[in-house]
Amino acid sequence: MSNKTKPNVSVPKYLPLHIARATWSMKSGLEALQLSNWIDIDENFVPELNIKAQRLKESYSDVVATLPGSHAGQQEILEMLLAHLLEYFPEYYRLEGTKIENLKTGQVWEISDYEDVPIALAGQLVQEDLCLMQPTSEGHVLKAISSTFPLFWRVPDKIGLPLYRIHNPVPQFAEKLKHPLELYFERLRPDRPGTRIAWGIAPTPLLVIAWYQPTEGWEKAITAENAGEHLWLRTEHQTLRRLPKSGDILFTIRSFADPISALKDYPTNRQNLATVIRQMPPETQTYRGMQPFLEPLLAYLDR
């Protein structure tokens, strides 16, 4: 993948194309995906799966939602995911009869316990969030989801919405991305999965934004000197796969949070980020929540 950095460096693992190219544009940035890169397991595997288990137990309806007619697609997701994990990550997973075991966390699931909601099990197996999109007369609609790490949106607010309504808050989405994305979804083939990198700036390293409780006047504490330690580059490695049996689409989201200071030894990427932010329309900066810390962030990146 062209915008995936080499491992074992402090620069964010997935560098957004906007930053790599120093150009802001309202484009999807979709590329071809190598199947071996579909699921990403790293050093945060155990803690992030523990968070998923905790959120599922404490706030199930904020994590999992399904609609009638989605069961076949959910089951296909689980079967496809299990086959992939056992092939590519045999040191992490073991299947014994009807039980799947996570060899790193010690969790064991009876697969039949999730017969009614297969996506609830699928979502616990990997660090990715999982979304099932189904073609309808309104376009592709979100029919089932397991999402622990959404960035400033809630599962109950998105389930049942078509693609264009999910992205309604995004400035210029309807004018520039609605038609190209629907066309991409329609043409997506099971043997040609796709990927893209989404990104934003967040005032917290927490992947579970619901746990973020800002103190009053938090933005005043961010300065040109300390912005790198108080702000995080939030990136999402997103993938799309057409399910061969149901014809539905599986959309995965793998979330990362890296301190802006991770770019301190990479002056080109640091300056590219400043350039891209300056090129953004003001409404996009506002939508992405940058206005409270925009000036100190740019000053830090320019230093």
Q: If 0-12 CB within 10 Å is exposed, 13-18 middle and 19+ buried, where does residue 186 land? A: exposed
Q: Does the pLDDT value for residue 229 go beyond 70?
A: yes
Average of per-residue pLDDT values in the chain: 92
Judge whether residue 8 has pLDDT over 50. no
What would the two tokens of residue 233 be?
A: 């580059």
**Fold (topology level) of 29-214+234-259:** Beta-Lactamase (3.30.450)
The label of the residue with tokens 């994990």 reads 85
Can you give the three-state secondary structure of 83-128, one letter per residue? HHHHHHCCCCEEEECCEEEECCCCCEEEHHHHCCCHHHHHHHHCCC
The stretch 214-242 carries a mean pLDDT of 94
pLDDT score, position 7: 37
Q: Half-sphere exposure of 116 toward its Cβ, with a 13 Å CA cutoff?
A: 3
C-alpha 12 chain-centroid distance: 14
Tell me how far apart the alpha carbons of residues 223 and 255 are, in angstroms, rounded to a whole number: 26
CA 232 to each of CA 156, 252, 281, 293: distance values in angstroms, whole numbers, following the listed order: 26, 21, 21, 12
The answer to whether residue 11 scores a pLDDT higher than 80 is: no
Query: CA 157, CA 142: separation in Å to the nearest integer?
Result: 11
Query: Looking at residue 1, what is its pLDDT?
Result: 38
Half-sphere exposure of 240 (CA within 13 A, CB side): 24
pLDDT of residue 213: 85
Asked if 199 and 235 touch (Cβ cutoff 8 Å), the reply is yes
* Three-class DSSP category at 246: coil
pLDDT of residue 3: 43
Rounded CA gap, 127 and 253, in Å?
9
Which residues have C-beta within 8 Å of that of residue 45, sequence separation ≥ 6?
92, 104, 127
Cα separation, 171 vs 270, whole angstroms = 25
Name the residue ranges covered by the structural domains of the chain: 29-214+234-259
Count of Cβ atoms closer than 10 Å to residue 213 Cβ: 8
Q: Which of the listed ranges 13-17, 148-152, 245-249, 260-264 does the model predict with the highest average pLDDT? A: 245-249
Q: Is the pLDDT of residue 82 over 70?
A: yes
Element (H, E) at 79: helix 71-88
